[in-house]
Chains A and B, each alone.
Chain A
Amino acid sequence: MENFLHNLLSKDNEVIVIFGFFVVAALAASFIQAITNDKRMARGEKIIELSYPDGPDGDYKIFSWPYLVRKEFLAVIMFITGLLVWGLITDAPLEEFANPNLTPNPSKAPWYFLGLQEMLVYFDPWIAGVVIPKVMVVGLMAIPYLDINPKGSGYYTLKERPFAIGTFMFGFIILWVSLITVGVFLRGPGWIIFMPWQEWDPHRVVAETNIDLTQYIGIDSKSLLGNIIGGLVFIGYFVVGVTVPYILLRKHPTVVKLGIIRYSIVAFLFVGMMGLPIKIFLKFTIHLKYIWVCGWKGIIFFNI
């Protein structure tokens, strides 16, 4: 516990605590307003965004000067006050002079990259460090072109876009915020999970034998048969994940409107995103190392 408190307040970690407050506040603000709006719409009332009284000129639009500018001014004053107080009461971290011969254990990336560093436990470096972040960025940029639901533009709502919000929140809360939290607070020496009540013992060894999927049924994962089975499971996961919902939902108006190409991209990104927590779950429950060990003479290697 002492170690947990130490970890909570050391280095840049107080930032993560503040980040947590921001996240909770943001989620509360958006979900409370979304639920309020949904209730109001069900009753046929005006939503929050439309229920403000008209401005002093009898117009729904009001002058930026002074009504917006004065708010910005106040916000800046409050923000800068908070920041300067923070800067006065706590010092920015500064450790010893950089020493390339002394590797700290654990070595951690800056906190906002710890979710990605966590991925290294489950995948090859080129998948965890290069492919996954790139798919994330491209996937994020593609959101406006994939979400063709015209409703819910410019106001808080859950009922009108449950899938969009559910998916985004899953990615943000489970795959981004909680993996960062795990990386910051629970990953100790040797990148081993330490619970808050455990001492960070650098000599602790966890006897963990992770085995590949096909080894559960006694087939060498590096053999041809093991390769084929692993490949079938991996590719099958995506093929089934993309096609089965399509067959079931192809008459659904949303799927019809999406069209086959947009649907495939949405489904591929969604199934791929879901693959991460599935792999994490399997690693911790049945000590799964890789589903598919695919490689050819060290030129191409695809261990997933």
Chain B
Amino acid sequence: MNELLRKIIEVLTLSQIWRSFFRRKHDGSKRSNVLAVVGNFFMHFHPIKIKRHAIAVRYTWCMGGFTFFMFLFLTLTGLLLMFYYHPNVRDAFWDVKDLKYNVAFGKILRNSHRWGAHLMVITVMIHMVRVFMTGSYKAPREFNWVLGVLLLLLTFLLSFTGYLLTWDQLGMWAITVGTNMARATPFIGHEGPFGEQLGMTAYNDIRFALLGGSMVGPNALIRAYIWHCVGIPLVVAFMAAVHFWRVRKDGFSGPL
């Protein structure tokens, strides 16, 4: 029986089709371990070898990895949600209701997207605490910390823009409270210092630019939608790529 199984596996893995997919056969040798990382598109952002302490859960708590995984998960579920969603004030709320009651698996899709978004905000903060506590921002990794702070902000903004999309009371007023701050911005907000003198009104200041209007309305919804689904994810993807690249180039932090 074992002989037969071994034979089947051999025939399969030596076939032209299999080898065209995977490029080579994994045999558990050291050379094969190296090739598993450098010879695979999805694995190649790992180093070939890594310091022993760096893979200990007690050292990293997996928080950075979780954050990245959450980003991938939210991209996927977000894409699926976009199939069922019209970004206009007439349909948005009812589309979300539909997801709950009519769409197959729509409820778990929306629930896990929402909770996943909150989890991403949490894990990115805890990741920052971990990096601080192990002193991993010290030279030569200073710039990666700076990138990390920006990614933290972008994560807040991703979650913030997503809040409005359900077009319910919770989202609308959270966005109203959040963007009301903008009108107090010095120089470019109409209630901020020097704002009035520079000709700022409720119809041309920074808050107007954010919302596409003087209050949270249809334009604010489409702006939040574009930022949430396209704009910010693109920026985050680029910056996260640089963030990981710097981890590789600067080396994983450790006492050695």
Point out residues on A near B: beta carbons under 8 Å.
Answer: 11-12, 15, 18-19, 22-23, 26-27, 29-30, 33-34, 47-50, 52-55, 57, 59-69, 71-72, 75-76, 79-80, 83-84, 86-88, 90-100, 102-104, 107-110, 112-113, 116-117, 124-126, 128-130, 137, 140-141, 143-145, 147, 149-157, 161, 164-165, 168, 172, 298-302
Contacts and interface: CB of A to CB of B under 8 A. Distances in A.
B82 interface: no
B174 A109 contact: yes
B93 A97 contact: yes
Interface string B126-157: 10011011111111011001100110010010
B36 interface: yes
B122 interface: yes
B114 interface: yes
B186 A130 contact: yes
A280 to B, nearest CB: 19
Contacts of B36: 65-66, 69
Contacts of A27: 129
B89 to A, nearest CB: 8
B18 interface: no
Nearest to B36: A65
A62 B169 contact: no
A165 B184 CA distance: 33
A144 B128 CA distance: 13
A58 B180 CA distance: 60
B139 to A, nearest CB: 7
A63 B174 CA distance: 47
A91 B126 contact: no
Contacts of A116: 181
Contact of A299 (B89, B118, B193, B217): B193
B58 A29 contact: yes
Interface of B: 30, 33-34, 36-37, 43, 46-53, 55-59, 61-62, 65-66, 69, 73, 89, 93, 96-97, 100, 107-108, 110-116, 118-119, 121-123, 126, 129-130, 132-139, 141-142, 145-146, 149-150, 153, 156, 159-160, 163, 166-174, 176-178, 180-186, 189, 191-194, 196-197, 215-217, 253-256
Interface class of chain B by DSSP: helix
A86 to B, nearest CB: 5
Contacts of B97: 94
Contacts of A84: 108, 112
Contact of A65 (B33, B93, B173, B217): B33
10 A-B pairs closest in CB distance? A129-B181, A144-B142, A87-B111, A125-B184, A92-B114, A87-B112, A65-B36, A98-B172, A126-B184, A61-B49
A170 to B, nearest CB: 12
Contacts of A128: 181
A151 B192 CA distance: 44
A111 B19 CA distance: 51
Given A83-B119, A130-B185, A156 B134 contact: yes
A224 B53 CA distance: 63
A173 to B, nearest CB: 10
Given A19-B122, A99-B169, A144-B145, A110 B160 contact: yes
Given A23-B126, A75-B62, A96-B169, A126 B133 contact: no
Nearest to A57: B30
A154 B169 contact: no
A113 B178 contact: yes
18 contacts: A15-B115, A49-B53, A63-B33, A65-B36, A65-B43, A67-B55, A68-B55, A75-B69, A83-B119, A94-B170, A112-B156, A113-B160, A124-B184, A126-B185, A130-B189, A154-B255, A172-B129, A299-B194
B197 A22 contact: no
Given A57-B30, A91-B100, A97-B168, A110 B163 contact: yes
Contacts of B115: 15, 83, 86-87, 90, 92
Nearest to A168: B132
A88 to B, nearest CB: 6
A165 B133 contact: yes
B100 to A, nearest CB: 7
Given A104-B169, A137-B153, A154-B253, A52 B52 contact: yes
A61 B49 CA distance: 6
Contacts of A113: 156, 160, 178
A75 B197 contact: no
Given A61-B49, A79-B69, A130-B186, A47 B112 contact: no
A70 to B, nearest CB: 10
Given A108-B177, A112-B121, A141 B46 contact: no
Nearest to B193: A300
Contacts of B47: 64
